[in-house]
Structure 1
Amino acid sequence: MPRLMSSTNLRVFLAALCLASGSFLLISTWTRQRTLALYYRKLHDEHASFLHKSAARKMTFTAPETKEELDKPHMNNESRKSFLLDTPYCNIPDIDPFDPAVIGKLKRRGELLCTGNKLSVTFSEGSKLRLNWEKIKEDLDGDFKYCQYQAIRRGNRNSDFSFELGDLSESFDHDITIPPQDEFLRVHCYSQSEGKVTTDFHATVSPKQDVERRSLHRFERHKENPSLRETYNVHMIGVDSVSRLNFIRHMRQTREFLHKDLGAFEMSGYNKVADNTFVNIVPMTMGKFVNEIGWNENMNNVPFDKYPFLWKNFSQAGYRTLYAEDAPKIAIFVYAKEGFHEPPADYYNRPLAVALEKQRSVWSSHHHCVADRLETTMVLDYVTDFSRVFRDKPHFGFTFITRLTHDKVDLVEAADYAYVNFLRRFRDEGHFKNTVLIFYSDHGYRFGEMRDSYVGKVEERLPFFYLVFPPSFREKYPAIVRNLQINSKRLTTPFDVYETVKDILYFDGVAKKGDIRNRGISMLREIPAERTCEHAQILPHWCLCLEQKTLKPKGKLANKIGQAVVRHMNNVLLPVSHMCANLTLLNISHIVRMASNERVLRFADVFHDVLNQTIVYGRKTDAPVVYQITMTTAPGFALFEATVTFDPVSRSFKMGGDISRINAYKDQSFCVDNFILKKFCYCLNKKNEK
């Protein structure tokens, strides 16, 4: 067999080949791919370190190196836990976010900088419109003259699709207070020499007399509820099309801030219940499937005003309400639908979003920046202003941000900077002291090459989901905190979010058990471990719980897996083989096969949300199969329980998590001190022969 080139010689050879052909494409592509691979390897290592610190576990993996190894099933020592969820009737596989099968399909973008556009020389804070003198000096070099604004209002009162502009205001060259009726603004600023030089858009927030009068009366009545213990503000902030795994890969700063700074509860088993945004948001905000609310595609000219959204409950309880979205053409209740004839909330940014979309001159070429601000940041600033203005008054916000993450999976990393900055500012201004944040996505990425893989199917069904409570919550309500910790590893759905938000509105501080008979169970209540997709009404083609089948313990496959586990244990014992006996397989008492259901693996697409809904199935995707085995080894009659995953692509077995010793080893392993070795070691010393 010819000797392989060293990596250095290979690079020299490739460079020479490129020069000879007059093209640098090959070497640059190779270098770029290698750089990207190294970057994701670094992320993999950081993620492994994060898991090790938070859960006292370590992640390593190896890959077969030759075709012979690929063709021959072998054991791959991977001490990662096998299951994200491990309950009696729902095991969801714990996929490595940096799985080699995925890395080659990933791209990274980094921070999206809004440069090259005109600077925003004005900014809003609550009801104030302020001049940014630093930017004025930088961009206009002392040539500033004045600014004027026009109010942006809802156009046809019964339409979500139009807006109208008010008259130009008086000119101003200083900070001004905006009247409550002029919520949204288009601002023109002028220089002495060039005339109009900047156009910008702003949302302002100030108390509205009618809303304040109504809210005060309703909130006093709400507080009369004798079981009411706390009145928390609630913000629901959704990010379109970000899976839990992609959140780990690309929103690293946001994730770290949630875990380390905010003590957030991550619902790892949050499983979507339908295909797209609309059909997952309806269960979250109304507690029903779309077909149960009496809506279908033939009603695309019927507004959504009459439907029982969650924010109406908060309004009735005396909370000020906010509804905010970006990307108005594809908004949740507008895309191929009628939208709302009346504003659904007290503060509704749609007139601004529609006007902004029409003003092409202010957008960057990629349509993510408005002047020198990210559109996502503009929406989040509106949320922050709302919380700041009503800091001491009850309020509820529903925000859903789409454009940045909807079409390109690599732009999720650009979103990371916007969201971590928002969360940091929200924390620093003290808003979390009395606010519950629900931070989530509707589903994972639903298009592209990755979706056809098994990892892609898992990602699509498991969006990220977090709950953040005030810092004092853990101390005041430890029993409910315990429920949240338990539920972080239970099967959850958008129906549970609906029940959770209702529980927060009527918060009584009492820890309860959830009723498994209910489709939706509040996450503040302990969700039963026995819950299945059937209980939660997750249809089979969306359900990620693995199907279980008991195998014959005396079969060839069982023996092959048992022998592989024994080989792994003997490899672990190699450093102390002079003290510990070589183990052999004595007996297999139980083995269970767990695999994704056929409908998940063959699912291709779904057409229509309600009428004539058609599920399309295609070629079955290769997927890992998990085996749980209970076995006895000799000498010593040690009883072990192990989880082994078979990868059909690499044809390799991988250890899933720690091997459990389920009978006492007493003094059999007295000769070693390491707790891992003690599980496996049968000391050769005669003390064990007594």
Structure 2
Amino acid sequence: MPSRRCSTLEKTMSIMIVGIDSISRQNMVRTMPKTVDYLGQNGWYDLKGYNKMDDNTFPNLVAILAGMTYKQIVNLCFPSNKTPMDNCPLIWKNFSDSGYITAYAEDEPTIGTFNYHKRGFVQSPTDYYLRPFMLAAEKSVKTKLHSGLIICLGPMKSADHILDYSLNFATAFSQYPTFSLYWMNGFSHNDLNTPTTMDNDMVTYLKRLSNSGALNTTMVILLSDHGMRFGKIRETYIGYLEERLPFIYFSLPEWFKTAYPSKVDNLVKNAHRLTSPFDVHMTLQDVLGVKKTAEGCPKCQSLFEEVPWNRSCLDAGITEHWCTCAEYKTLSTESSPVRVIAKFVVDQINDIAANYSRFLQNGTSCSKLRAKRVLSMRSKVFSKSSGYQEYVILVQTVPGDALFEATISHNYTFKIVDTVSRINSYSKQSTCMNDAYAKKYCYCLKDSPSRTTPRVTNTTDS
């Protein structure tokens, strides 16, 4: 064992984060009821008000691992998709500096959190890193696809490779403090119902984890990054909420509950209050004994401290576009103001595509989008008392029949709040765009020799 390692002290708690992509709290109840029952019956803490802070996996994990927003970490350590992320201040480095042995494993390496249209890491980011094995295995053994993702790798489910690795790591280093992160995409990312196939497996895994003794020394966080972000359910108001409300559970060692009853009491209280990934980051800092404000959320705090009952989304680092605390009323989609708002949103989308034209493949362009129809329109109740009106609009565009959802504020002028969501699949429409953020706004065209117009036109005619 390297000399920098230290054996587990009596009050040192290991950390294990197990993530399953794209499962809302409600969809977990629907598709993995046995797992939910097991967690409830075995003392896991369920945070019912956990709200994501951004669109997809990367920013929500960065909030946990670095306490930063997407823009903050991009500006700090990887200004382009070709820049490695080795210098990013991810919290596993802090745990490593404190003597913890670290591990990171994720299935689907082509769409992995740090590698989807990103450079990833040049050096191993943790002491134990499964990516090289997963890449080699996908080339060397038989695979089975479901909804475009590898669900079986050799004779095992891809997720089982990750779960077994987590158990082996926890067992091998049971006498040492560890920090580990495991992430699974294959059985949940692209299909709302496929998590059903892992329900029994997850219960078996949780029992094995308990029998291994790991729960005696380790705080385990079982969570998702967000709910399903596309598909028919996402066109409903329930789908709107579920996308923003992933599940999260905590397991704490018995010695920790005995030594710190007030911390546990606060976690129980926080189960019914608004929380965010930034709070998870602050909790990890708390375990390390560090008190450093999360750059992306100055008011966020450890979940071992009581969260205010009247906390706002802004206090939790959640922008209005992702906030689920507001009440809305449905409006007619046929009025003139609705058409004006739809045109404004589509113009903004075309502007975004134009600003990212440098990431297009040679000989391609993004089509100028036009509004086809407005599927829904809601106004935020009581927003006028804040000095502005706020709307949520769902608009379909052509070509491509894309579905875009935007939160709009109006105080003399319209303004996009945070970002515009794409809520249907676009992978086959945006292959020419090499920027992960801009892909959802681009419908690819091949340039013809006679084309004289620029890649994206910024005109505002409908």
In the other structure, the counterpart of 2:420 is 616
SS in 2 for 1:230: coil
SS in 2 for 1:302: coil
TM normalised by structure 1 equals 0.47
What is the aligned counterpart of 1:345 among 126, 137, 160? 126
Shift of 1:600: 7.3
Give CA deviations for 1:408-434 in whole Å, capped at 9, x if unaligned: 111111122222211110101211011
SS in 1 for 2:243: helix
Alignment CA distance shift 1:215-1:445 (3 Å): same
- Residues 300, 315 of structure 2: 8 Å contact kept: no
Shift of 1:599: 5.7
Q: For 1:292, give the aligned amino acid.
A: Q
Query: What is the RMSD computed on CA atoms of the aligned residues?
Result: 2.9
SS in 1 for 2:180: strand
Give CA deviations for 1:341-379 in whole Å, capped at 9, x if unaligned: 1000000001101111223x5223543123331110111
Give CA deviations for 1:160-196 in whole Å, capped at 9, x if unaligned: xxxxxxxxxxxxxxxxxxxxxxxxxxxxxxxxxxxxx
Paired with 2:52 and 2:282, the residues of 1 have a C-alpha distance of 16
Alignment CA distance shift 1:294-1:448 (3 Å): closer
Q: Tell me if 1:315 matches 2:119.
A: no
Q: Percent identity?
A: 36
Q: For 1:335, give the aligned amino acid.
A: Y
Alignment CA distance shift 1:596-1:474 (3 Å): farther
Q: After superposition, where does 1:48-63 map in structure 2 within 5 Å?
A: none
Paired with 1:324 and 1:383, the residues of 2 have a C-alpha distance of 8
Q: How many residues align?
A: 343
- Residues 605, 615 of structure 1: 8 Å contact kept: no
What is the aligned counterpart of 1:545 among 325, 334, 353? 325
Alignment CA distance shift 1:478-1:335 (3 Å): same
Alignment CA distance shift 1:404-1:293 (3 Å): same
What is the aligned counterpart of 1:329 among 103, 110, 116? 110
Paired with 1:470 and 1:301, the residues of 2 have a C-alpha distance of 41
Q: For 1:537, give the aligned amino acid.
A: G
In the other structure, the counterpart of 2:154 is 371
Give CA deviations for 1:44-65 in whole Å, capped at 9, x if unaligned: xxxxxxxxxxxxxxxxxxxxxx
Q: For 1:397, give the aligned amino acid.
A: S
- Residues 52, 322 of structure 2: 8 Å contact kept: yes
- Residues 209, 215 of structure 2: 8 Å contact kept: yes
Shift of 1:395: 0.8
TM normalised by structure 2 equals 0.69
- Residues 540, 600 of structure 1: 8 Å contact kept: no
- Residues 495, 519 of structure 1: 8 Å contact kept: no
Paired with 2:13 and 2:322, the residues of 1 have a C-alpha distance of 33
In the other structure, the counterpart of 1:589 is none
Which fold has the larger relative contact order, with Cα–Cα distance below 8 Å and residues 6 or more apart in sequence? Answer: 2
What is the aligned counterpart of 1:407 among 161, 172, 190? 190
In the other structure, the counterpart of 1:213 is 3
SS in 1 for 2:221: strand
What is the aligned counterpart of 1:469 among 252, 255, 275? 252
Q: Which has the larger radius of gyration?
A: 1
What is the aligned counterpart of 2:393 among 586, 598, 602? 602
Q: For 2:3, give the aligned amino acid.
A: R
- Residues 138, 153 of structure 2: 8 Å contact kept: no
In the other structure, the counterpart of 2:54 is 274
In the other structure, the counterpart of 1:265 is 45
Structure 1 stretches of at least 4 aligned residues deviating more than 6 Å after TM superposition: none
- Residues 266, 303 of structure 2: 8 Å contact kept: yes
Q: After superposition, where does 1:39-78 map in structure 2 within 5 Å?
A: none
Paired with 1:267 and 1:348, the residues of 2 have a C-alpha distance of 29
Q: In structure 1, list runs of 5 or more residues that go unmatched.
A: 1-208, 224-228, 509-516, 550-592, 607-611, 620-690
Paired with 1:600 and 1:475, the residues of 2 have a C-alpha distance of 48
Shift of 1:546: 2.3
Shift of 1:534: 1.7
Q: For 2:124, give the aligned amino acid.
A: P
Q: After superposition, where does 1:591-670 map in structure 2 within 5 Å?
A: 601-602=392-393, 604-605=404-405, 615-616=419-420
Q: In structure 2, list runs of 5 or more residues that go unmatched.
A: 292-296, 330-378, 384-388, 395-403, 407-415, 424-462
Q: After superposition, where does 1:296-307 map in structure 2 within 5 Å?
A: 299-307=80-88
